[in-house]
Chain A
Amino acid sequence: MANSRIDPATGTETVGHEWDGIEELDTPMPRWWLWTFYLTIVFAIGYVIAYPAWPMVDRATKGVLNWSSRGDLARDMDAAEQARTGVHEALSRVPVERLPDDSALLAQAVAGGRAAFQVHCTQCHGSGGAGSQRLGYPNLNDDDWLWGGDLRAIEFTLVNGIRAPGHDDTRQSQMPPFEGVFDPVQMEALIDHVLALSGKAENNRQGAQIFADNCAACHGEAGGGSRALGAPRLNDAIWLRGSTREDIRRQILNPRMGVMPAWENRLDPATIRMLAAYVHSLGGGEDFIAKADDPAVEVDDRP
């Protein structure tokens, strides 16, 4: 370079640039450093041969090792699948009511159920299982169960669904519409009585009479509901479809009833069991009641 000169202090040549009097020495680098450069070149050549490298028209060269990140992913997924099969196996063998005996398996079931819940159930019940009062999707965290809240009952509901069309074993019940049955005074009295069941209004004899004649068959004399019929409890603080007079009137005149698909043919038994365990774990899960008052649940006793 034109301006390069020998620096007297070090005896080294400068590169010839100068910035405000500061010059740069052209110190020779150690030879091993040069070798490492050559090594990186060799490495690069090897890499290009071994791994996908050159972009071609629609894909890159494959490389002799045939490695791809997609392949890596597939392998990881396989491994995860393998790891899961053990739990699946165990779950499909253990009847759901035996799950709490094996706390490790239960924990895995709850974890798996949480994942499955996010895929299959959140659309209606919400990601936290809190449901929606406006749309009538039940909250799964509380202690109020329409059809039963022990592990077997939950599993049965999952398998067979609720009012699932075209499914023979589905949980079934129907509340008749009372449109045009009561005159306005009777209607108000009935609403008062329904509210009175949970202490939200004064008792009144007329409403009580109407309730006893029309409603008690399913909802019970004291409004305790019936799990066999999926008739909601009316004497508690939980209102599936709202607790205002308007909400109650609407529900009496033109009742809306929830529908839940039967998951029997959509999910494998192990996943359903995991979902049952998860829903049960949300906080409102009940212990088994000695006499199961829900329809007989067939215990899966396949080997």
Chain B
Amino acid sequence: MTAPDPADPAPGARGQPDQQVSSAVADPAAATRRHDPHEPEPVHLPQSLVEKRAAVHNKRIDGRFRRFKWAVMLLTLGIYYGAPWLRWNRGPYAPDQAVLVDVANRRFYMFGIEIWPHEFYFVAGLLVMAGLGLFLVTSAVGRAWCGYACPQTVWTDLFQHVDRFVDGDRNARIRLDAAPWTWGKVTRRAFKWTIYLAIGFATGGAWVLYFADAPTLWRDFFAGEAAPIAYVTVAILTLMTVTLGGFMREQVCIYMCPWPRIQTAMLDEKSLIVTYKDWRGEPRGSVKKAEKDPAHFGDCIDCRQCVAVCPTGIDIREGPQIGCITCALCIDACDRVMADVGRPRGLIDYATLEDCEAEARGEAPRAPWRTILRPRTIAYGLIWGAVGLSLLFALGVRSHVGLTVSPDRNPPFMVMSDGGLRNSYTLKLRNMESRPRGFRITVDGLPGAVLWSDTVGRADAAAAQTVTVPADQTRTVRAYVAVPPGTTAQDFAFRLTSLDPQHETARARTHFSAPAGNSP
């Protein structure tokens, strides 16, 4: 792990001291010769049933991708930990938490949007969008999800920073790992694991806050008065966070997660991945060796910095592999090294396999937008947008009343003493506004019908009835509809009209049953 010496005169050895030229460009013949994919020497692994996990102690690195990763991490963690605390005024009849999954009352609140269980297609639509979004992202920019936004990645990154904070950088951690269990090491480990637990607790704790009023639950939780399920959930999620983020880490990506498998199937030679340009880098040789034989060696100086910074501990130079989450930290590392030795950046870079081949042949690289905008990504993008637009449209035109009717089937009709007929219905009136509303129920298309209900007696039967439905609730009303003698069986509809200025209406078709003798 010799850091390259910035004073190394390697570039000068190439004769053009101030121009960064890759060895492949300097000597195309050599490049073509080296284009065969690099294959590691077949090592003879000791055949054993199980494989011991080698701890990954990734080195600190700074660079543009690392900074981007920091930004994404701040953003995602900020959203996750902060969202339950945002408030949103919905008036006196609804909770004021901006994002709330109210399981007990079966409501999902998201800022100005309130989703009822029967509108679950909105959530389904969002999931469809999430799925398509992943397809889109994967075919455009490869495993960007894995590299930056996946919770497993974000929390692993967080825990690795904790490691670095407590135990020092890579070398110190490797030494400490190997060191015997002295009191000093025990103290350090205890300290580190306490931080792990605190992060885990914060993570589990934030989770339950999405399911109840956050400030109340917070108070109750620490007063020991929250529901047992809250404690159980927090405990399980705390353990899960610590296990997955603190200890399993890259093992989750390599062995447990289905997503890399799916992505592997979706990537093609036109997808952006983090690649080591072997045609440019091979054969590897230290700066000193290259100095002696510039024509033979490629740009890779074999400093292993890319391996040292990798959060999953792999060597990208072995080629694209499932362990690579494309976090691009190795690009940062390699770019630094290349800058230090005065060679062009991008020996490891975001590139498509096709571009790599073209580049190796000495052709000009394609513009990045051509990689991102191609039929497949455009198709995904269009479908994604279409789903999103239709969701928005549905959200815009959805009404805040609902009416469902179920006629009594046993008995289907009733002869009244005046010879008239009565049918009974169970109406469900849904008021989706966060305030109580009055509604008028009328009967549409059933001549001579009068209506009464379980709260309005038959004496007050009339063609229309008024009921009040509490804020944000569904009210069940038994409705009795009577018609004059001789009415035949027919379809008709109930109509619900809100008595507020909106005058929202809902209609529900149903059937009026009559004896067979009354058939038309």
B175 contacts A by Cβ under 8 Å: no
Q: What distance in Å separates the Cβ of A132 from its nearest Cβ neighbour in chain B? A: 11
Give Cα distance in the complex from A74 to B182, angstroms. 56
Give Cα distance in the complex from A236 to B410, angstroms. 23
What sequence of 0s and 1s flags, for each residue 30-69 of chain A, a beta carbon within 8 Å of any chain B beta carbon?
1111100000000000000000000000000000000000
Among A9, A128, A281, which residue has its beta carbon within 8 angstroms of that of B478? A281
Contacts of B248 in A (CB 8 A): 32
Are A283 and B480 in contact (CB-based, < 8 A)?
yes
Q: How many residues of A contact B (CB 8 A)?
A: 35
Give Cα distance in the complex from A30 to B250, angstroms. 12
CB nearest neighbor in A for B476 = A107
What sequence of 0s and 1s flags, for each residue 232-262 of chain B, a beta carbon within 8 Å of any chain A beta carbon?
0000000000000000100100010000000
**Segment of A139-147, A170-178, A210-218, A294-302 in the binding face:** A139-147
Give Cα distance in the complex from A34 to B50, angstroms. 7
B228 contacts A by Cβ under 8 Å: no
Give Cα distance in the complex from A29 to B49, angstroms. 7
Are A283 and B53 in contact (CB-based, < 8 A)?
no
Are A130 and B410 in contact (CB-based, < 8 A)?
yes
Give Cα distance in the complex from A33 to B419, angstroms. 77
Are B408 and A128 in contact (CB-based, < 8 A)?
yes
Are A236 and B414 in contact (CB-based, < 8 A)?
no
Given contacts A11-B43, A32-B248, A287-B457, contact A237 B48 (CB under 8 A): no
Given contacts A34-B50, A237-B485, A283-B424, contact A141 B43 (CB under 8 A): no
Give Cα distance in the complex from A33 to B458, angstroms. 71
A303 contacts B by Cβ under 8 Å: no
Give Cα distance in the complex from A233 to B44, angstroms. 102
A115 contacts B by Cβ under 8 Å: no
Q: What distance in Å separates the Cβ of A43 from its nearest Cβ neighbour in chain B? A: 16
Contacts of A32 in B (CB 8 A): 53, 248, 251
What sequence of 0s and 1s flags, for each residue 261-295 of chain A, a beta carbon within 8 Å of any chain B beta carbon?
00000000000000000000111100100000000
Are A144 and B43 in contact (CB-based, < 8 A)?
no
Among A9, A128, A233, A281, which residue has its beta carbon within 8 angstroms of that of B410? A128
CB nearest neighbor in A for B424 = A283
A220 contacts B by Cβ under 8 Å: no
Interface size bucket, B side?
A: 35 or more
A127 contacts B by Cβ under 8 Å: yes
Given contacts A11-B43, A128-B410, contact A29 B50 (CB under 8 A): yes
B18 contacts A by Cβ under 8 Å: no
Are A28 and B414 in contact (CB-based, < 8 A)?
no
Are B422 and A238 in contact (CB-based, < 8 A)?
no
Give Cα distance in the complex from A79 to B191, angstroms. 47
Are B417 and A238 in contact (CB-based, < 8 A)?
yes
Interface residues of B in 19-50 (CB under 8 A from A): 39, 42-45, 47-50
Are A30 and B53 in contact (CB-based, < 8 A)?
yes
Give Cα distance in the complex from A282 to B426, angstroms. 12
Are B417 and A6 in contact (CB-based, < 8 A)?
no
Are B48 and A28 in contact (CB-based, < 8 A)?
yes
Contacts of A233 in B (CB 8 A): 417
CB nearest neighbor in B for A127 = B410
A180 contacts B by Cβ under 8 Å: no
Are A142 and B414 in contact (CB-based, < 8 A)?
yes
Contacts of A126 in B (CB 8 A): 410-411
B459 contacts A by Cβ under 8 Å: yes
Give Cα distance in the complex from A238 to B420, angstroms. 10
B416 contacts A by Cβ under 8 Å: yes
Q: What distance in Å separates the Cβ of B405 from its nearest Cβ neighbour in chain A? A: 16
**What number of residue pairs across chains A and B have CB atoms under 8 A from each other?**
91
What sequence of 0s and 1s flags, for each residue 444-478 of chain B, a beta carbon within 8 Å of any chain A beta carbon?
00000000001101110000000000000000001
Are A28 and B417 in contact (CB-based, < 8 A)?
no
Interface residues of A in 195-247 (CB under 8 A from B): 198, 233, 236-238
A186 contacts B by Cβ under 8 Å: no
Given contacts A6-B44, A283-B424, contact A130 B51 (CB under 8 A): no
Give Cα distance in the complex from A109 to B130, angstroms. 48
Contacts of B414 in A (CB 8 A): 130, 139, 141-142, 283-284
Contacts of A143 in B (CB 8 A): 416-417, 458
A86 contacts B by Cβ under 8 Å: no
Interface residues of B in 38-71 (CB under 8 A from A): 39, 42-45, 47-53
Contacts of A238 in B (CB 8 A): 415-417
With most chain B CB atoms within 10 A of its CB, the pick from A128, A233, A281 is: A128
Contacts of A166 in B (CB 8 A): none
Contacts of B47 in A (CB 8 A): 13, 26, 28
Q: What distance in Å separates the Cβ of A235 from its nearest Cβ neighbour in chain B? A: 9
Give Cα distance in the complex from A141 to B416, angstroms. 9
Are B418 and A236 in contact (CB-based, < 8 A)?
yes
Give Cα distance in the complex from A6 to B43, angstroms. 10
Are B415 and A142 in contact (CB-based, < 8 A)?
yes
Are B51 and A237 in contact (CB-based, < 8 A)?
no
What sequence of 0s and 1s flags, for each residue 4-38 of chain A, a beta carbon within 8 Å of any chain B beta carbon?
00101101110000000000001011111110000
Q: What distance in Å separates the Cβ of B483 from its nearest Cβ neighbour in chain A? A: 13
Given contacts A32-B248, A128-B410, A283-B422, contact A236 B45 (CB under 8 A): no
Contacts of A28 in B (CB 8 A): 47-51
CB nearest neighbor in A for B410 = A128
Are A31 and B53 in contact (CB-based, < 8 A)?
yes
Contacts of B418 in A (CB 8 A): 236-237
Given contacts A143-B417, A144-B417, A238-B416, contact A130 B478 (CB under 8 A): no
Contacts of B419 in A (CB 8 A): 198, 236-237
Contacts of A127 in B (CB 8 A): 410
Contacts of B53 in A (CB 8 A): 30-32
Q: What distance in Å separates the Cβ of A10 from its nearest Cβ neighbour in chain B? A: 8
Give Cα distance in the complex from A29 to B411, angstroms. 65
Give Cα distance in the complex from A142 to B418, angstroms. 11
A32-B251, A128-B409, A142-B417 given; 14 more Cβ-contact pairs under 8 Å: A11-B44, A29-B51, A29-B255, A33-B255, A126-B410, A128-B410, A130-B414, A141-B411, A141-B422, A142-B415, A142-B422, A238-B415, A238-B416, A283-B424
Q: 13 pairs across A/B with beta carbons < 8 Å?
A: A6-B42, A11-B42, A30-B51, A32-B248, A32-B251, A33-B255, A34-B50, A130-B410, A142-B422, A144-B416, A237-B415, A237-B419, A237-B485
Q: Which 3 A-B pairs have the closest CB atoms?
A: A128-B410, A237-B419, A236-B417
